[in-house]
Structure 1
C-alpha cells in the first residue's frame, strides 16, 4: 500500500503538469496528499519541516543562476546580439544547409549561457525563413530547434552553464567541466545521429512531394539583417561567459580555478559578527563559477550594446526576473516534493527495486531519466533523484571505483533524456511559438528525446570500455 501511495503522488504530479496546471501549487498538494494517506498527523510538520526546507534550500543555491541566466538571455536579445549571432552562423554554414545552421545556432546560444526559452524565440524567425526558402516542411522546425537547444549543449558538453549541468556538481563536489572527454563524445554522438535523423526526415518529405506548407499560424515577420552588430562583438559575451567560468572553476586534471586558489576547501564568514559561518567551497564552487561568468557576460553586453539595452532595460529585466522566478520556483517545488516522497515508507520500496540494478551508472541513468520523464522537467527530475539517492549513487560508485565526475556527467545527461515528454514546459513553449501542434511536430521532438536517452548509455559503454573520463 505504501508503494502505491508514493507512486500515486508521482502520477498525480505528472498528470497536472501535463494538463498545464502550476507545479508550484500542485507539488505540495501531491506531496502532502501522500503524507495524509500515510500518517495524517504528520502533514503540518512535513510541510514546514521537510517540503519548505527542501524548497528553500534549492532556491538558496540555484535561484541566482536562474536569475542571471534569464537576465543574460534578455540583454542578449535586447541588444540585437542574438540576431547577429544567428545571421553570422547561417552565413558561414550556408542557407542551403538550413537544418545544420539552425542546430548550430541553437547550440552556440545555449552553450553560451542563453536560456533555452530565449533561444527558441531567437532562432524561430530565421528557421522559418530558411525552411520556407528551402521548401522544407515547417513541421520539422521544432525537432531541429530541440536538437540544438535541448540536447548536447544543455547537459552533455563540459562547462555548459545551463542548470542541468550545475545541479550535480553540488552533490558530487565536482565542477561543471566534469568528465570532459565523455561529455564531448556524448555530444558528438547526439549531434551526428540527430542530424542524420533530421536529414532522413527531410528526404522523406521531399520524396513525398511535401514542401513548407501553407496556412500556417505564427509566421514571423521578415527579418531585418541590414543593421546588425558586428559578429565579433555579438559573440564576445558568449566567449566571456565561457572563459570566466573556466578560469574561476578550473579544468579537471589540468589547472586549479581561482575560487579554489582564493578560498581553499572552506571559508569562514566573520565580518562584524560575533560568530563565524563556515562555508564549504567544494559543493558551491561550480555555482560561483557560472554566476561569475554570467555576471561578466551581462556587463559585456551592457558595455557594447548600451544604446539598445538601455532603451528597454527596465521592462526587459522585469520580464527576465518574472521568468526566472517562475522557472526556479517550479523546480524548487519539485525538489520539495522529492524530499517528502523520499521520506515516505513507500519510497523505500522504489529504492530497493532500483537497487536491484547492479550497475551503479545504469542505475543512476534509469532513475534520473525516469523521474525527469515523470515530472516533465530535467532539473526537477534530477533534483528529486539526487536529493533522495545521491548518497547511494556515491556509495555504489565508490565501491566500483567510479570517479565522481562520471557520476556527474551521467546524471546530467540522463536528466535531459526523457524529460521532453509531451507535458514538458519547454516543448509546449516551442510548439506554441512555432504555431504547430503536438500532432504535427512532437514525433520529431520525441525522436531527439530517444537519441538523447540512448546517448547516456553510449557514454556509459565508452567509460567501461576505455576508462576515459
Structure 2
C-alpha cells in the first residue's frame, strides 16, 4: 500500500510542481526520492542488498542513458534552430508564407511544417527546435498570443502524424517487433483517425486562439525576439532549403542509420544554412553559443523527468500496476490501449509505455486470436495520449526550453490537443476495428 501511495503521490507531486513552474532538475529527483522512500528502496548502491534497485543508481542511470543517447541530436537541433533565426532564414520563410497563405493561415503553416518533418522521420524534439524560429515570426506578424506556440508545435508533431500508419517515428515501429506487423498496420483505420485528429484539432486550436484574442490577448514582444524590421533577409527558397536537406537526409538514411540518421541530417542542415546564407548572419558565433546553451537546458530538463521514470519503474507498486493493467478483462483492444496509455502516463513516455506493456500483452493477446494489425494501431495511437501529461519530456522541453513559456500559460491548450484528442482518436480506432473495418 505504501508503495502505491509513493508511486501515485510522487507522480501527482511531479505534475503539480511542474505546473507551478518549479525547476525540474530539483523537482524530478525530489519526487523520485519520495517514490523510493515509500517503496522501501535503498537510497544508495552501498546500502542495497545484492542487485536490488536503489534510488541513486536507478535515477542517474536513466538520466545518463538518455543524455548519452540524445545529446548529439539535441545539440545539433538547437543550433539548427538558432542559426535559422540568426541568418534570417526563418523570418524570410515566414514572410513568404504569410504572403502566400495570408495572416489567417499562419497557424496552419506551422502545423503543416511540423507534420511534414515528423512524417519525414525527424525526431519530435528536433522538429520543435527547427520550426520554433518560424513559428515565433509567424505569430508575431499575425499578432497571435505566443503562449499557443507550444500547442501548435505539438499538434503538428505528436497527434495525427507520430502514431499514424507509415510514420517512421519510434512509437509506430516498436509494436512491429512484438506483433510481427508492418509500419502500415491498420492503415485504413489510421487514415480515418488521422483525418479526424487533424480536422478536429485544428478547429479546436483555432477556437482557443480566437477566444484568447477576443479577450484582448495579442503577441507579446520580448527583448530577445529577432528584429527583422530593418535587416536584409535571404531569399525564401534559400531559407527553406536547409529544412529540405534535413528532411531528405533523415528520410533517406532512416532505414540504415536509424536514430543516428538525425545526426547526419542535422549536420547537413547546419552546413547548408552556413553555405547558402552565411552573408546574412548577424553573429554566427553567438548563435552557436545560444544553441549549445539551449540544448543543455532542454536535455537536462528532459533527462531529469526520465530519471524519475527510472525510479518509478523500480518500485513494487509499478510492477503490480503493470500486471493489473496488462490483465484487464474484456476486449483485448480496449485492455491493450488502456494498459499502454496508463503505463505511458506513469513513465511520461509513449515508447516507454509500449516497451513495458507489449512483451506481456503481445503473446497473450495473439494466442487469443486478436488481429495483430488492429492491436498494433490501437496501441500506437493510445500510447500518444496520457504520455503527454505535464511531466512528459517533450512537453517540458517544448514549453520551457524552446518556447520559454510556463506550464501555467501554455500547457492547457497543449494538453487539450495532445491528451484529450488522442484519447478520442483511440476510442474511434477501437470502434472501427470492432465493427471489422479495415480487417
User: With structure 2 as the length reference, what TM-score do the two structures score?
Assistant: 0.74
SS in 1 for 2:384: helix
The correspondence for 2:295, drawn from 311, 324, 338, is 324
Q: Which residue number in structure 2 is paired with residue 95 of structure 1?
A: 103
Which is further off, 291-300 or 447-456? Answer: 447-456
* 2:128 corresponds to 1:116: yes
Shift of 1:64: 2.0
The correspondence for 1:425, drawn from 391, 396, 403, is 396
The correspondence for 2:241, drawn from 236, 241, 246, is 236
| Structure 2 Cα separation of the partners of residues 462 and 71 of structure 1 | 43
* 2:59 corresponds to 1:55: no
The correspondence for 2:328, drawn from 357, 371, 374, is 357
| Structure 1 Cα separation of the partners of residues 100 and 362 of structure 2 | 44
The correspondence for 1:402, drawn from 372, 382, 393, is 372
Structure 1 contact 372–418 (Cα < 8 Å) conserved: no
SS in 2 for 1:229: coil
Which is further off, 391-400 or 323-332? Answer: 391-400
Q: Which residue number in structure 1 is paired with residue 270 of structure 2?
A: 298
Which is further off, 396-405 or 327-336? Answer: 396-405
Structure 1 contact 28–51 (Cα < 8 Å) conserved: yes
Structure 2 contact 110–131 (Cα < 8 Å) conserved: no
Q: Paired residues, what number? A: 411
Cα RMSD after superposing both structures:
4.3
Q: List per-residue Cα deviations over 1:273-311 (Å, max 9, x = no partner).
A: xxxxxxxxxxxx4312222222222221121122234x5
Shift of 1:150: 0.8
Shift of 1:466: 3.9
Q: What pairs with 1:62-461 in structure 2 (closer than 5 Å)? A: 62-101=70-109, 103-104=111-112, 115-116=127-128, 119-131=131-143, 138=144, 142-143=147-148, 145-146=149-150, 148-154=152-158, 156-157=160-161, 165-166=169-170, 169=173, 178-179=183-184, 181=187, 186-198=193-205, 210=214, 224=229, 227-249=232-254, 257=255, 259=256, 285-309=257-281, 311-358=282-329, 362-363=334-335, 365-366=337-338, 369-370=341-342, 380-382=348-350, 385-386=353-354, 388-395=356-363, 398-399=366-367, 400-402=370-372, 406=377, 409-410=380-381, 413-414=384-385, 417-419=388-390, 425=396, 429=400, 438=408, 444-449=413-418, 450-461=420-431
Change (3 A) 1:407 1:74: farther
What runs of 5+ residues in structure 2 fail to find an aligned partner? 49-53
Shift of 1:82: 1.0
SS in 2 for 1:151: helix
User: With structure 1 as the length reference, what TM-score do the two structures score?
Assistant: 0.70
Structure 2 contact 7–312 (Cα < 8 Å) conserved: yes
